Amino acid sequence: MDKGLNNSRKDFPILDQQVNGEPLVYLDNAATTQKPNQVLKTIVSYYQNDNANVHRGVHTLAERATDHYEAARDKVAEFINAANRKSIVYTRSTTESLNWVASSFGNLVVNEGDEIVISQLEHHSNIVPWQQVAQKQHATLKYIDLTTDGELDMDSARRQITDKTKIVAIAQAANVMGVVNPIKELAQIAHQHGAYMIADGAQAAPHMKIDVQDLDVDFYAFSGHKMLAPTGIGVLYGKQDLLEMMPPVQFGGEMIDFVHHQDASWTELPWKFEAGTPNISGAIALGSAIDYLTKLGMDNIHAYEHELVAYTLPKLLAVDGVTVYGPHDPNKHTGVLAFNMAGLHPHDVATGLDMEGVAVRAGHHCAQPLMEYLNVTATARASFYFYNTQADADKFIQAVTAVKEFFADGIS
């Protein structure tokens, strides 16, 4: 395993602590990642030195803040290989990005009798907005099924995507089972039928190299807090001509060209979508997070996480009574492992692991249709990132075994 990635742990002060008397093993990275010193210092530096509103002042602090804010936009564009910085819109989160696409673009292009296609793997953020569009526009919402090992069934995809389809919205990487979906192929199928391709990149952008031009997606959404940046900052990428078509979702300061008494006109991209005072420090810190990830190398991060999963997954599968959901091939995974333990509620499992210092997620993971599809109410979920180590994996497996034995003793 790449020692350079392991050595990055020293940059994350939060990892150097004890929880319930045990060294912290943080395995809830799919929910949010920890922040390195470099990002934390960027936030402090902005508020100590450059705190001012952007775009609206000619004084020095305002100009410096604006320069940093817009420089971060350039970093985002380069990070995902967007053709134009105007295609990068700051939002609060993946959720907000997807909602904006649905409520603005979706309602623009979807009409009565049309179809919207999503999958059984989706997060609620990529389900509920499309439910709303379908209901409002009297369209049909369709789901792509899964294979027996939890991957997207591409035969089902080809059946579901038809000439009636206007929108295909799929996660590039699934938040529950860590499945990586063939977004480029799906985009090709969608475009062959005249549909638009929207990718939820929340679980992909932090873990692998993204090239939106190669994927040929029409929109791509992701969140800063899942890739070392603060909460409250997200990104919506859209092809420039499509963003030009979209009406703004919010109105007010900054996004206008001119306001008359009875009407108004909008400014140019990307600012026509960025009404009001934005999350300036969050955007600048996202730029810092991208610097950090770029220095490590996204290909290195991707390969390292595969090694961690390849090391951990067989050990988890070997624990008697554990069911792991999704592919059992590590090469088909991000660093996400969803599992259940026979006879135990996932919340009890997560509480037991926490007593061992291991932080995992438990619940439906904002994917209740998937839970229904799997015929479970919830799962536990361990999710790795590049600052996790083989020792973390060993501790996780030891803790799972300890929890199993504890409850077995309690039952007996």
Active site amino acids: 366
Dist. CA 132–CA 137, nearest whole Å: 8
Dist. CA 315–CA 318, nearest whole Å: 5
Dist. CA 36–CA 12, nearest whole Å: 5
CA 317 to each of CA 28, 83, 135, 351, 404: distance values in angstroms, whole numbers, following the listed order: 19, 43, 42, 20, 14
3-state SS, 9-46, equals: HHHCHHHCCEECCEECEECECCCCCCCCHHHHHHHHHH
Dist. CA 274–CA 169, nearest whole Å: 23
Burial zone of 185 (CB within 10 Å; 0-12 exposed, 13-18 middle, 19+ buried):
middle
Contact (CB, 8 A) for 404 and 343: no
Dist. CA 54–CA 46, nearest whole Å: 12
Contact (CB, 8 A) for 380 and 317: no
Phi, psi of 379 (to 5 degrees): -140, 165
CB atoms within 10 A of CB 249: 17
CB atoms within 10 A of CB 252: 11
Helix count and strand count (H, E) for the chain: 15, 17
Sign of the Cα pseudo-torsion (328, 330, 334, 335, in order) = positive
Dist. CA 277–CA 291, nearest whole Å: 24
